[in-house]
Each structure stands twice: as C-alpha cells, then as structure tokens.
C-alpha cells in the first residue's frame, strides 16, 4: 500500500504553494510568443507510433530506447509523445494548415514522456514550451525563432545564458559529411558502444550525440560538419549570423552541436546555462526542412525550438530569481452560527462575482480556530459575522496588516470593499518605496 502513494519514478508533483510560479512562467512564455505572432496549439498526448519513428528518426536514442509505446485495444501501436514537433506537424498536415496562409506560427505547453534514467533536470514525465514556424525557409526566420527564445528566457528572469549555433547542412552536403564520418569512425569501430556500431552504417552523425564517455572521446577528433557545407548552406549560415549580429545577440559557433533528433537540417542552436551542472542545455532547436514531406505533407520548410520547464525552474531556483507575490485570500468571513454561515455564503458569492478571493468557514470550526486559519492563509481582511451583523447588515472588516477596522454596509459590500483593497494596495506601494 505504501508504494501506491508514492509518485512513479521519474515524475514529480507540483504543490499549490509552488504552482503559481509555474503559472507565471507559462503565462509569460505565451505572452512573449504572442508578440511574435505565435498562438497556442493543443495536440493529443499520444500519436500513432509511426509519427515519431518516421519523424524523430529510428536511429535516435528517443526512438530506440526512450519511447513509451504500447498496443491499444484495437491493436494499434500508440506512443506517448516524447516531443511536440512531430505531433504538431501531423496536426498541421491533417488540418490543412500547411496548405493555407504561411507561415503557420504555433506555440505549445504540455507534458512529454521518455523512459530514461531520472536525474536532476531530466525526468520521465517532463513539460515543454516550444514554438513551430511552419512554412518559412529564410535565415530571417531562423533568427526570429532564436530571438524569440532569447526573449522568453529573459522575460521569465533567467540570466547568464550563452547561445551556441551550428549548421548541419542539407541532405546533399550531409551525404559527403556522412562519408567522412564513416571513414573516421571505422578506424575506431571496435571501441564504439554497441548502439554506435549500429549507427556507423545507418546514421554516423548520431555517434556525435552519444553520451558514452568512450564514444564522446573518439568523436572529439571527428571531421567538422561546417567544412562540408554546400554553397547554399554556407550562405544560409552566414546570413543567420548577420541577422543575429544586427539584433545585437551574442553567440558562439559550436560545430559539435548536432541535436538529438534526425529531422534537423541546416541551423541548429542551443541556449546553455552554467548554473545547473551537467544538464546545462535549457533550450534547443533548429530547422527541419524535410519533416513535413516525410510525414506525408507538401515540401514546406520549418524551424522551431523547445525548452524544458523543469530545467528552467531549476535555473530560476539556482539564480534566486524573483517571482510575483503569491495571491492570497482577499477577505475571510468568520460566521458564528448556521444563519451567519448562510449569510457568509451570500457575501462570498457577491464578491467572487467581482473577482475577489472571498472565503468562509466550511469545516464547522469555532471562531478562534477560524481566525487562526485566516491568519495562516494570509487573508488581507477578516470579518466576524454574528447575529447583529446579519440583522443590521453592518459589517466590521478588519485590515489584517495594521489591525484597523472599517464599518461597511452589506448592501454596498462591493463598492466599499473595492475602496479597502485599493487603500491596502496604496499603503503597500508606499511602504515598498521607502
């Protein structure tokens, strides 16, 4: 029985005392994305397995080792989404977005699932915010996506990040690069891990992304993809840098970045933090010009990014970032009997309709316990309701910050309470200024 009440390994709970921080981060992300014209898309949490095996790539760790895949009752192979891009592309094809006005600018927030060893900043159930710019093939689109990612990270309060960019070319120039990689790794094939021995023939670039210390050490001397770019990819990469320079965004060209998913072409990028240890990448993305056609749609080029919320919250914690104050109860009514409880329900309903957080006792507590509870939850105002208050409709509302009491007519509760709340806000503002 004890096992039942424990969260499954690789998952975590977000408590009510912390969820407001997540809500602030998520809403800030959506608001910033809207400045660039990106609007939220919501897609199913599971897809046909082929959406990911074809889209993400069957040589990736995600597809080979990490997907939660099962047969449903109809015998169909279903997979919980390990990432969003393939699902967003599937949805865009099915709903005709790729045949409409381009670019399609979509953003998302939601859970993803990968079966891997849990560690700090890497869970089996994790949450991502990301964007997809579908139907734009210029370096300007790449730059806009990178600038949006930078502004999102800045707006939620993350500091001390470095941007690293690379180009992994197109299928034409990458074919030559693959030949060079095969020749290089063939000389060290006996030392490669079992997975990378298989990758050597099928997709040697995946060896560059292997987490094995031995494979990583061998890969350090591998040929550099930038040396194999065709003229078009070189120009695309140069123009991206020109756009970033024009926007004043600093970056480093890191030829080791390949990203872990097969659909990337040309531009790839990462934002890296030095404040959370080994899992330092907080945002990653790039261009995926062939994915839509690969999943059955038209030849539409696209670019996007994703960032893990759990990892971002780790960075915000490590940097002691400031969050807006947690919302607390505006007023707590403490009834002394059953009739008073009914009256409290009425007053709460009136104030809630105006957007105030109004609470009253629902546990049958005594007056002293109610006031103690109101203090614990940080109620801004309290109001004790006895026979006289119900009969006369005159309420004595106490400011819990300074102890002052104000008489209010129940018939004018909304108008008078607005005044009390505004006065409290002005008092707090004055205190913060001095």
pLDDT of res. 388: 96
For the chain, give percent helix, strand, coil, nearest 5. 45, 20, 35
pLDDT of res. 434: 46
Alpha-carbon gap, residue 267 to 262, rounded angstroms: 13
Whole-structure pTM value: 0.91
Alpha-carbon gap, residue 52 to 64, rounded angstroms: 11
Alpha-carbon gap, residue 330 to 75, rounded angstroms: 53
Alpha-carbon gap, residue 11 to 13, rounded angstroms: 7
Give the residue from 209, 136, 130 showing the smallest Cα distance to 166: 209
Q: Are strands 381-385 and 331-335 parallel, antiparallel or unpaired?
A: parallel
> In 10 A of CB 140, how many CB atoms?
13
Alpha-carbon gap, residue 55 to 36, rounded angstroms: 26
Alpha-carbon gap, residue 402 to 412, rounded angstroms: 23
Low-confidence ranges of the chain (pLDDT < 70): 1, 58-59, 260, 277-279, 429-434
Q: Are strands 39-40 and 104-113 parallel, antiparallel or unpaired?
A: parallel
Alpha-carbon gap, residue 23 to 165, rounded angstroms: 30
Q: Crossing angle for the helix pair 231-247 and 139-155, nearest 10 degrees? A: 40
Whether 335 contacts 361, CB under 8 Å: yes
Burial of 234 from C-beta contacts in 10 A (0-12 / 13-18 / 19+): middle
Q: Which two tokens stand for residue 198?
A: 């298989």
**412 Cβ neighbours under 8 A, 6+ residues apart:** none
Secondary structure (3-state) at 287: strand
Give the residue from 161, 310, 350, 333 showing the smallest Cα distance to 250: 161
Q: Are strands 252-253 and 125-134 parallel, antiparallel or unpaired?
A: unpaired
Q: Are strands 265-273 and 358-360 parallel, antiparallel or unpaired?
A: unpaired
Q: Which domains does the chain have, with CATH numbers?
A: 16-170+230-318 (3.30.930.10), 331-426 (3.40.50.800)
């Amino acid at each position: 029985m004890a096992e039942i009440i424990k969260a499954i390994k690789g998952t975590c709970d977000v408590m009510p005392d912390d969820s407001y921080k997540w809500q602030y981060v998520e809403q800030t992300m959506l608001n910033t994305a809207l400045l660039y014209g990106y609007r939220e898309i919501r897609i199913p949490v599971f897809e046909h397995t082929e959406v990911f095996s074809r889209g993400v790539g069957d040589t990736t760790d995600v597809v080979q080792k990490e997907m939660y895949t099962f047969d449903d009752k109809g015998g169909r192979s279903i997979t919980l989404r390990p990432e969003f891009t393939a699902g967003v592309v599937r949805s865009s094809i099915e709903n005709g977005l790729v045949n409409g006005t381009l670019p399609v600018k979509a953003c998302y927030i939601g859970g993803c699932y990968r079966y891997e060893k849990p560690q700090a900043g890497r869970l089996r159930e994790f949450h991502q915010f990301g964007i997809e710019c579908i139907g734009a093939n210029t370096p300007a689109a790449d730059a806009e996506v990178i600038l949006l990612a930078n502004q999102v990270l800045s707006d939620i309060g993350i500091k001390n990040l470095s941007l690293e960019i690379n180009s992994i070319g197109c299928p034409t120039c990458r074919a030559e690069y693959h030949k060079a990689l095969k020749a290089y790794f063939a000389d060290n094939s006996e030392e490669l891990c079992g997975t990378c021995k298989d990758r050597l023939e099928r997709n040697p670039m995946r060896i560059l992304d292997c987490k094995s210390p031995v494979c990583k050490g061998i890969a350090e001397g591998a040929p550099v993809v930038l040396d194999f770019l065709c003229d078009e990819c070189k120009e695309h990469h140069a123009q991206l840098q020109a756009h970033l320079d024009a926007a004043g965004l600093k970056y480093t060209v890191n030829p080791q970045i390949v990203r872990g998913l097969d659909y990337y072409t040309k531009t790839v990028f990462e934002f890296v933090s030095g404040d959370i240890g080994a899992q330092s990448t907080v945002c990653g993305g790039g261009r995926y010009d062939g994915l839509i056609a690969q999943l059955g749609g038209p030849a539409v080029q696209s670019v996007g990014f994703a960032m893990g919320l759990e990892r971002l919250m780790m960075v915000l914690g490590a940097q002691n970032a400031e969050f807006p104050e947690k919302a607390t109860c505006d007023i707590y009514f403490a009834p002394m009997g059953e009739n008073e409880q009914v009256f409290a329900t009425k007053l709460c309903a009136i104030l809630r309709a105006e957007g105030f957080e109004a609470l009253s006792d629902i546990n049958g507590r005594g007056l002293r316990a109610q006031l103690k509870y109101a203090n614990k939850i940080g109620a801004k105002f309290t109001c004790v309701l006895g026979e006289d208050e119900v009969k006369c409709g005159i309420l004595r509302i106490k400011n819990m910050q300074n102890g002052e009491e104000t008489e209010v007519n129940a018939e004018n509760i909304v108008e008078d309470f607005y005044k009390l709340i505004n006065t409290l806000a002005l008092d707090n503002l004055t205190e913060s200024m001095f």
